[in-house]
Structure 1
Amino acid sequence: MPNFPNLILFAIPFFVLAMLLELYVTTKQNIKTYEKKDAFSSIAMGLGNVLIGFISKALVFGAFYLIYENFKLFTIPVVWWSFILIFFADDFSYYWFHRISHECRLFWASHVVHHSSQHYNLSTALRQTWSGSFYSFIFWLWMPLVGFHPGMILLQMSISLLYQFWIHTEAIDKMPRWFEEIFNTPSHHRVHHGSNPLYLDRNHAGILIIWDKLFGTFQPEIKDEKVVYGLTSNINTYNPIKIAFHEWIAIFKDTFTGSKPLKARWQYLIKPPGWKHDGSGKISADLRSEWLKNKQISNENK
């Protein structure tokens, strides 16, 4: 069995140094990106994610290994070319995991943690879920089935996560044009963290932005539409426990309380965030359509 290192643990000192460097650079640029309580909340969420990861990764590896040993269709050797294959396979899986995490409330309940900060800096990258790793791995189950070794899968998932750390910054405006065309960048990911209607549920890329362009979810950052970070309804708390579980509590209330049909209770789990069984809710597509319509009317009146 390949013995791959735990890259996330090795990267922790780099995370600390990078945040200090970013704080220095953004202060020089007169960009206020850090707020002390918010940053400490993000770091606390990251540390919790690492600690919980000792349990969840064992379960995930077990699930991958069970499929790999008993049901794999092929055997993909651990050689140089298989790392190229797994790079694209993992990034494709991540795109769909990330996209569904915005379009299905059951997955949004854990992913919302990452979007709950109203600030955007490298500490925001550490604001990770405490619950999602126990079930989000289902988007990768096809990989051991086709023959990728579980150790390789977990390694590539860590590489993807490490790549996404540096794009959580306002210190970098744009990368070279060729890089912006292919890869996820700070500019692309700032859009993803925006609560502006135009930016909602866009740019779900992990490493390659090409998936968003292929599947119609790409939105470039527009200078005239400054990104407003956070949620459409912010939770306004620095308490890590509330950050981790506030949406799970909201789902429980929507699903199990009040008078509503059984079908509606189920739909609160699978419909997009913002959906209401009585038609009073608005999902991101509704908010975007309203914004575009009002923008068109405003332009026509000029």
Structure 2
Amino acid sequence: MSQNPLLLALPALMAAGLIEAMLWRRLHGQRYPWGEGLASIGVAIGQAVQRLLAGGVVAALFFAVWQWRLWTVPLDTAWGIALLFLAVEFAYYWHHRLHHRVRWFWATHAVHHSPNEMTFLTAIRLGWTAEISGGFLPFLPLALLGFHPVGIFAALAANLIYQFWIHTEMVPRLGWLELVLNTPSNHRVHHASNERYLDRNFGGVLVIFDRLFGTYVAEAQDEPCRYGLTTPLVSTNPVTIAFHEWRNMLRDARRARGWKAKLRMLFGPPGAPLETP
């Protein structure tokens, strides 16, 4: 968690992005969105710097909680690794769902949903303020339950690296795999701003928890995905992209009438109606 794990595999990811760009005109009949792609790279560089500065604090917190663990899960066993994978996937599901349903968390996560085209480089457009919003909190109980922090960080890194390939329109539906895995088709739904697709498919590698908790929706042939935020962001300035929703949220909280309304602007769902004097 001390850095963006997608950057660890950056050479391979950039190669995939270049191949996608070369095929873009053939697939879409238009030029590749270079502005958005370069903006995503800029956001990723900023996040890498931010994680170098703040990631150590989060890591120290996980190791502190680890000292009070209730059990110790042996990660040198197959069952221990399998349990770690499922535990991180479960925590990721709720982490992700929380980031869509609470505006304080959405202020960071909206960065990832801001591209208006679905490309591989969308995967590396991640927010700069996860430590401020507390995005690590859903994973913290895993250390208390006995999973070593290094194991948690490694499993989460693998989870995020897996998700790189699902940010594309080049891969069609994959048959029965759609029932279990977070595929490109399932993740296109997650990034869509169509009303029927909003706040769906929160899983990282799997969609089993989406199916279990009623948040799964399949991509429909009769309704193509429309990407980006419900109010599209057109800026390609990485700083604007990183902080635009924080600015909007704090503005709405300032304008809201009464403390309850102000708190709803901060901690209620995104899109809650604004009550002003």
The TM-score, its normalising length taken from structure 2, stands at: 0.93
Tell me whether 72-81 or 156-165 shows the greater mean CA deviation: 72-81
The question of 1:265 aligning with 2:276 is answered no
**Among residues 195, 216, 219, which one is paired with 1:218 in the alignment?**
216
Measured in 2, the distance between the counterparts of 1:64 and 1:33 equals 45
CA contact (8 A) 1:34 1:121 kept: no
Tell me whether 25-34 or 40-49 shows the greater mean CA deviation: 25-34
Measured in 2, the distance between the counterparts of 1:131 and 1:30 equals 34
Partner of 2:239: 241
Partner of 1:79: 76
Partner of 1:174: 173
Matched letter for residue 216 of structure 1: G
Give deviations 1:22-54, integer Å, cap 9, x for gaps.
Answer: 222333334547311111001111111122122
Superposed CA RMSD in Å reads 1.8
Partner of 1:138: 137
Give deviations 1:80-104, integer Å, cap 9, x for gaps.
Answer: 3221111000011111011111100
Q: Using a 3 Å threshold, how does the CA distance of structure 1 residues 34 and 125 change in structure 2: closer, same or farther?
A: farther
Residue 115 of structure 1, CA deviation: 0.5
Partner of 2:26: 28
Partner of 1:121: 119
The question of 1:68 aligning with 2:62 is answered no
CA contact (8 A) 1:73 1:147 kept: yes
CA contact (8 A) 1:33 1:121 kept: no
**Among residues 254, 257, 264, which one is paired with 1:256 in the alignment?**
254
Matched letter for residue 170 of structure 2: A
CA contact (8 A) 1:33 1:120 kept: no
CA contact (8 A) 2:250 2:266 kept: no
Partner of 1:199: 197
Contiguous gaps of at least 5 residues in structure 2: none
Residue 56 of structure 1, CA deviation: 3.0
> Secondary structure of 2:22's match?
helix
Matched letter for residue 102 of structure 1: H
The question of 1:209 aligning with 2:207 is answered yes
Residue 235 of structure 1, CA deviation: 2.1
Tell me whether 23-32 or 241-250 shows the greater mean CA deviation: 23-32
The aligned length equals 272
Residue 162 of structure 1, CA deviation: 0.2
Partner of 1:152: 151
Matched letter for residue 269 of structure 1: L
Q: Using a 3 Å threshold, how does the CA distance of structure 1 residues 96 and 31 change in structure 2: closer, same or farther?
A: farther
Residue 152 of structure 1, CA deviation: 0.5
Measured in 1, the distance between the counterparts of 2:125 and 2:268 equals 24
Identity %: 38
Tell me whether 24-33 or 229-238 shows the greater mean CA deviation: 24-33
> Secondary structure of 1:23's match?
helix
Partner of 2:272: 275
Measured in 1, the distance between the counterparts of 2:44 and 2:5 equals 15
Measured in 1, the distance between the counterparts of 2:27 and 2:112 equals 25
> Secondary structure of 1:53's match?
helix
Runs of 4+ in 1 over 6 A off after TM superposition: none
> Secondary structure of 2:247's match?
helix
Q: Using a 3 Å threshold, how does the CA distance of structure 1 residues 60 and 211 change in structure 2: closer, same or farther?
A: same
Matched letter for residue 62 of structure 2: F
Give deviations 1:108-164, integer Å, cap 9, x for gaps.
Answer: 000000011101000111111111244200000110001100100111111011011
Residue 277 of structure 1, CA deviation: 4.3
CA contact (8 A) 2:201 2:217 kept: yes
